[in-house]
Structures are given as C-alpha cells and as structure tokens.
Amino acid sequence: DGGITQSPKYLFRKEGQNVTLSCEQNLNHDAMYWYRQDPGQGLRLIYYSQIVNDFQKGDIAEGYSVSREKKESFPLTVTSAQKNPTAFYLCASQGVEAGNYEQYFGPGTRLTVT
C-alpha cells in the first residue's frame, strides 16, 4: 500500500521546546517537501529536498531545520526560534522524472504550541 504518512496527526508542545514532525514515503520518490498552512491560507514552502543528503530552504525556512539521511524520510524540526509555530504542516513527495511535477501529500500534522 504505497503512500506518504505523517505522524502524529495532532501535536501539542510548550513554548520553548523543539519538536520534530515525521514524514515517511514508500513511493520511491526522490523529492520531498515541507509546507506550512495557516487558517484560511495557502501553502508556504519551508524546505525541500531533491535528493538524499541535500536540501534547500524554501520561502519561510527561518526557525525550522530538516535532514534527509534516507530517501524515504524527511523529518522537520520546529525549533524554539520559530516565532509562530502553531500551524498545519504538510509533507509531500514527488518523482523527479522529466515533466512530472505532481506532488503527493500526506495527511498533515496540526501543531499547537502554547
């Protein structure tokens, strides 16, 4: 059963704590992405990785960090430096064949920091 999974679905943390969101895919996709979505708004790109051991900052990378040690996994750490971490976080993966740009999304993790 191929797909992309995110865990947990809901996450609660106290202000000042780092938290890591999990993203795993078994689609054999090379590229993976993290987006942030705030209520009533679109998707904003945090980080992306087009190959193992390499990743690039997106539009709103400050206060976040990622790693890509395995093709299947792209965890996102929300650090205490992120000023407004409460949001819905979406992970996506994508095959990088020529002309194939469809991204497959996970179910999302809703992070609440108080």
Partner 1 sequence: GESVGLHLPTLSVQEGDNSIINCAYSNSASDYFIWYKQESGKGPQFIIDIRSNMDKRQGQRVTVLLNKTVKHLSLQIAATQPGDSAVYFCAENIGMDSSYKLIFGSGTRLLVRP
Q: Decide if 70 contacts 49 (C-beta within 8 A).
A: no
Query: What string of DSSP letters covers 52-87?
Result: TTEEEE-TT-TTEEE--SBTTB--EEE-TT-S---E
- Site size for partner 1 (CB under 8 A): 29
Minimum distance from residue 102 beta carbon to partner 1 (Å) = 6
Question: Length of the chain in residues, anyone?
Answer: 114
- Options 24, 25, 103, 111; binder of partner 1; rule CB under 8 A: 103
| Contact residues: partner 1, CB under 8 A | 6, 31, 33, 35, 38-43, 45, 48, 50, 58, 88, 90, 92, 94, 96, 99, 101-108, 110
